[in-house]
Amino acid sequence: MQLKEKKLRRRVRANEVGELKEKTVNIARVAKVVKGGKRFSFTALVVTGDGRGHVGAGLGKAGEVPDAIRKATERAKKTLIKVPLRGSTIPHEVVGDFGPTKVLLKPAAPGSGVIAGSAVRAVLESAGIKDIKTKVIGSTNSHNVLHAVLSGLLQLRDPEVVGTVRNLNVQDMGYSL
C-alpha cells in the first residue's frame, strides 16, 4: 500500500527544481483554551512552486507570524510534487476531493486564463498552469480546498505514460500534440 502511494505522489526534491516562489494563502490566529485563559498562536498556509510543473503546500504553526510562515515554507518545499502539463493547461479533466470539499479542474483553451478562487489560484499559478477552469463544490475552507486541488493534480496522467501502459501511441488515443 505504501509503495503504491509513493508512486502516486510523484515527489520531487527541492534541489531538483528551479527557483521556488512562495505564496501565502492564509494566516489565522488560533487559540488554545487553558486553565488560566487562552494561549494564542498563528497558523500559516503556504504554497510554493517553480512555475514549470512543480508545486507543494505546507502548514506552519508558531507563536509569531514570520515563524509560522517560515515553518510552512519549509514543509511546502519538502512536499513538492510534479504536475504533468499539456502546454499551458492540464491534460484532462479531473475532480480532486478532500473531506467535505471537491474541486473540479477542467482544461481550458489557450488565452482563457486561470478561472479560480484564491486558494485554487495560488496552487495552479505556482505550478505554472495558465489556462484552466475550476469549480469548488462543498466546503470553501482554504485548507480543505488546497488539499483537494493537490489531490486532483496527483490524479493527472501524462498522455505518453497512459499510451505506454495501453500499448498505444498518443495519436491513436486522440491527442494531438
What's the rounded mean pLDDT across residues 86-97? 92
Whether 48 and 56 have beta carbons less than 8 Å apart is answered as yes
Sign of the dihedral through C-alpha 40, 57, 10, 161: positive
Whether 122 and 21 have beta carbons less than 8 Å apart is answered as no
- Considering the entire predicted model, what is its pTM? 0.85
Please, which pLDDT band fits residue 174 given cuts at 50, 70 and 90? Answer: low
C-beta atoms surrounding 74 within 10 Å: 14
* CB neighbour list of residue 153: distance below 8 Å, 6 or more residues apart: 55, 81, 83, 90, 94, 96, 105, 123, 127
Q: Where are the domains of the chain?
A: 2-81, 84-164
What's the rounded mean pLDDT across residues 157-171? 77
Tell me the three cell numbers of residue 104: 473540479
Please, which pLDDT band fits residue 162 given cuts at 50, 70 and 90? Answer: confident
pLDDT of residue 19: 87
Fold topology of 84-164: Ribosomal Protein S5; domain 2 (3.30.230)
Fold topology of 2-81: Double Stranded RNA Binding Domain (3.30.160)
Tell me the three cell numbers of residue 25: 494563502
d(CA 120, CA 46): 12
d(CA 101, CA 152): 11
